[in-house]
Structure 1
Amino acid sequence: MTENVSYDVLVTSGNTTTTPVNGVELDPLIETFKILITCILAIVMFGMGSAVDLLDLKCVFKQPKGLILGLLCQIFMMPLLTYSLIKIASLTGIHAIVFMAVGCSPGGLFSNVISMMVDGDMALSIALTTCTNILAFATVPLWLLFFTSIEQISDELHIPYSSLAISLVSLVVPIILGILFRLKFVRIARYMAKGCGIFGFVLLIVTIVAMVIRNEVPLVFTVNSVLPVVFLPLIGMSLSYLLSCIPQLHLSSGARRTVAIETSIQNGNLSNNIVFLTYADNLTLFTSAVPITLLFSVAQSFYNVIMVFGYKGYRMWKTRHEEKDTVTLQSAVSYQNMDDSHIKARNYDFI
Structure 2
Amino acid sequence: MEDINQIPFNFDPRIGLIVGIMVGFLVFAVSLDLTWEKLRRVLKKPKAPTIGLVAQFGILPAIAFLTGLYLTDSPSIALGLLLVTCCPAGALSNYLTGVAKGDVATSISMTTISTLFSIVLTPLLFGFWASMNPSTQEVLQNISMDPQRVIMTLQIMLIIPVTAGMLLRAKRPVIVDRIRRAVRLVAGIVFAVIVAMIIGSNFKSLALLAQTALFPVLFTFVVAVGLGWGIGWLAGLMAGERRAVAIEVAFQNVALAIGLGVTFFPTLGGIVAVSILWGIVHLTLGFGLAIAWNHIKIE
TM-score of the superposed pair, with normalisation by structure 2: 0.71
- TM-aligned CA deviation for residue 143 of structure 1: 1.6
Match of 2:202 in 1: 215
Matched, 1:231 2:219: yes
In the alignment, which residue of structure 1 is the partner of 2:80?
Answer: 102
Runs of 4+ in 1 over 6 A off after TM superposition: 263-266, 311-315
CA distance in 1 between partners of 2:112 and 2:132 (Å):
28
* Bigger radius of gyration among the two: 1
Report SS of the residue matched to 2:34: coil
Report the Cα offset of residue 55 of structure 1.
1.0
Q: Are 1:135 and 2:113 an aligned pair?
A: no
Report the equivalent of 1:298. Answer: 276
Q: What is the aligned partner in structure 2 of residue 122 from structure 1? A: 108
Aligned positions, number: 274
1:261 match = 251
Q: Identify which of structures 1 and 2 has the higher relative contact order when contacts are C-alpha pairs closer than 8 Å and 6+ apart.
A: 2
Query: Is the aligned partner of 1:180 residue 2:170?
Result: no
Q: Report if aligned partners of 1:101, 1:271 keep a CA contact under 8 Å in 2.
A: no
| Alpha-carbon spacing, 1:206–1:187, altered in 2? closer, same or farther (3 Å) | same
Cα distance in 2 for partners of 1:37, 1:226 equals 23
Q: Deviations over 1:25-74 (max 9, x none)?
A: x525xx2x443443344343333222223111233345443444344333
Match of 2:231 among 207, 232, 243: 243
Other-structure match for 1:56? 38
Map of 2:130 onto structure 1: 144
Q: Partners of 1:302 and 1:234 in 2: how far apart?
A: 13
Confirm or deny: 8 A CA contact 1:50 1:189 kept in the other structure: yes
User: CA separation in 1, counterparts of 2:66 and 2:290?
Assistant: 34
Q: Distance in 2 between matches of 1:247 and 1:210?
A: 44
AA in 2 matched with 1:183: A
Alignment of 1:30-69 (within 5 A): 31=14, 33-61=15-43, 63-69=45-51
Residues 267/67 of structure 1: CA separation in 2 closer, same or farther (3 Å cut): farther
Q: What's the CA shift for 1:125?
A: 0.6
Deviation at 1:171, TM superposition (A): 1.7
Are 1:196 and 2:183 counterparts? yes
Ranges in structure 2 where 5+ consecutive residues have no aligned partner = 1-7, 99-103
Task: Indicate if the aligned counterparts of 1:141 and 1:159 stay in contact, CA closer than 8 A.
Answer: no
Identical pairs, percent: 14
1:203/1:232 Cα in 2 relative to 1: closer, same or farther (>3 Å)? farther
TM-score (norm 1): 0.62
Structure 1: which 5+ residue stretches go unaligned?
Answer: 1-9, 13-25, 277-285, 319-351
Structure 1 152/168 Cα, relative in aligned 2: closer, same or farther at 3 Å?
closer
Per the TM alignment, residue 167 of structure 1 is displaced from its structure 2 partner at its CA by 4.2
RMSD: 3.9
